[in-house]
Structure 1
């Protein structure tokens, strides 16, 4: 009996691996994790901003002989709003870009000067600039500085008081200043395409001589601005997909 059992058991052991190979595999199929988009700041964008600002206008009138007639400072504030367009390029965590913008402003004020019995109304009608941008990205957050060439459209109206001759009319003049702007801010990408930002910018425009036909032969006026804005922009193009990761 034993002589019959041993050969049979040996035959079963030899055949077992072959039989196991024919059975269905219980090994789980690989699980693929969907690609995770990596945000990139590279791309064209268009946006809009709104905020407020103030201007400092220092005016120094001079008579026909070049004598200074005094110094008048006007500080005015108002709403600022407009649009911008630009392009950013990201390499590693660094970003460089170029941006152009145009803002209309409500900055203006009328001041009466007793020394010359006159009222002067100053308005800053618009601001525009072309800037370079340098930033540092922390995933969807970008810290940046901005600066470049800026322009400001201004107007001023001088109105004489009661001590002037009855037939003395008001006098108005318009001028476009050229100067610089510099500032910085932070941006955050809420989605792959929609981005919000908060920004501060300082504008410096130097001095220009407003001509006059009356008491002052000319008036040298120095203009500076400080602007705070919040805004949103739409970045064209989607995120870059990450490599597919397989999990077993």
Structure 2
């Protein structure tokens, strides 16, 4: 019995180091890399296209010999617009500043019956094109930009008077006209160099006097037109610049 116990102790003492040697080494685990949060950078040049809807509110006064006679009524000239824009933005923290030029073809047309000569004449106005030259200031939340804008506006106008019973043109004038604009929009970066958004603009166009000339070259009437324009457009831009900055 004594020999058996001594043998067992010796066997355990011999096996213990061997068992310890057979244990697998603890694997080395590398620390996970830091989480990188991409930040959209709005700095850079961009070019894009836009399209939407517009409405030009026009009121005419009749001014024979340059003297106010009476208001001849108002109308809204509505229709579609389409064009493009080019600009540059730079970002400082969350604030974004920019300059932009925009030019659009337009088909804003409307008319009203003469308030002075009802049933005899129809007054019509049409905007064929417009341009905006604006500065911007905005606030960015990563790839979402909220901005306001303001600057100069330009409209290409045509004014016509028709003899209502026959529809014959009796007087017309055309002109390019300067005014001011304010607007606001929201834009989203949906890819490293692509953005899309929606924008509203209001154009304050100065009152202006026009001589409506008959087809035979004689003066038909003199009017003063008061004009304001509202625009809603959807925009898509392609941007050059550092689109994404890594932040740890």
Deviation by residue 1:121-153 (Cα, 9 ceiling, x = unmatched): 211011101100000011111110011011000
TM-score normalised by structure 2 residue count = 0.79
Q: Distance in 2 between matches of 1:225 and 1:88?
A: 26
Structure 2 residue matching 1:70: 3-state secondary structure: strand
Match of 1:140 among 128, 135, 143: 143
- The residue that corresponds to 1:231 in the other structure is 235
Deviation at 1:33, TM superposition (A): 5.3
Structure 2: runs of 5 or more not aligned: 1-24, 213-217
| Inter-partner Cα distance in structure 2 for 1:137 and 1:54 | 30
Q: Report the equivalent of 1:206.
A: 206
Contact 1:185 1:200 in 2 (8 A): yes
Using the alignment, how far apart are the partners of 1:148 and 1:236 within structure 2? Answer: 24
Query: May I ask how many residue pairs the two structures share in their alignment?
Result: 218
1:115 and 1:240, CA in 2 relative to 1: closer, same or farther beyond 3 A?
A: closer
CA contact 2:62–2:69 (8 Å) conserved in 1 = yes
Matched-pair contact (CA < 8 Å) for 1:60–1:221: yes
Whole-angstrom CA distance in 2 between matches of 1:170 and 1:80 = 28
SS of 1:190 mapped into structure 2: strand
SS of residue in 2 equivalent to 1:64: helix
Q: Does 1:130 find its partner at 2:142?
A: no
State the Cα distance separating 1:241 from its structure 2 match: 4.0
Q: Any conservation in 1 of the 2:133–2:151 contact (CA below 8 Å)?
A: yes
Q: Deviations over 1:217-242 (max 9, x none)?
A: x2110110011111211111343442
* Pairwise CA distance, 1:120: 2.4
Distance 1:205 1:67 in 2: 20
Structure 1: state its 5+ residue gaps: 1-23
Please give the TM-score of this superposition, normalised by the length of structure 1: 0.79
Change (3 A) 1:77 1:97: same
Alpha-carbon distance in 1 for matches of 2:246, 2:169: 71
Where does residue 182 of structure 2 map in the other structure?
182
